[in-house]
Amino acid sequence: MILSVGMSSSLWLSRAGADASHLSESDPAAVAVGYREDAAKVDKAKYSNYSAGQTCANCSLFSGKSTDPWGGCTLFGDKLVAGRGWCASYTNM
């Protein structure tokens, strides 16, 4: 019984840790650059530099494959950004 609880706790902690590595839209660094997990939800009036088709996955700051759902970004340290996301620091590859 104790082993079962321990295994369940370990699984929960590993999932919680994985989720914690994703950049939240409410993170102060994300807010500063208008990060959105879904580029379709970018406030186009506020971010006029946004163009359709721009996503984190095709940004030069993204450190993953263009097909990765999540990847690193040089702006956010160890936090992962959504491949389908966008922020005002977007730069072409």
Domain layout of the chain by residue ranges? 21-93
Q: Which two tokens stand for residue 26?
A: 């409410």
Digit-coded pLDDT (tens) for 17-61: 445 599 999 999 999 999 999 999 999 999 999 999 999 999 999
Q: Is the dihedral of CA 45, 93, 62, 75 positive or negative?
A: negative
Residue 13 has pLDDT above 70, yes or no: no
Reply yes or no on whether the pLDDT at 67 is more than 60. yes
pLDDT for residue 93: 82
Give the CATH superfamily of 21-93: High potential iron-sulphur protein (4.10.490.10)
In the predicted structure, residue 5 carries a pLDDT above the cut 60: no
**Token pair for 2:** 């104790």
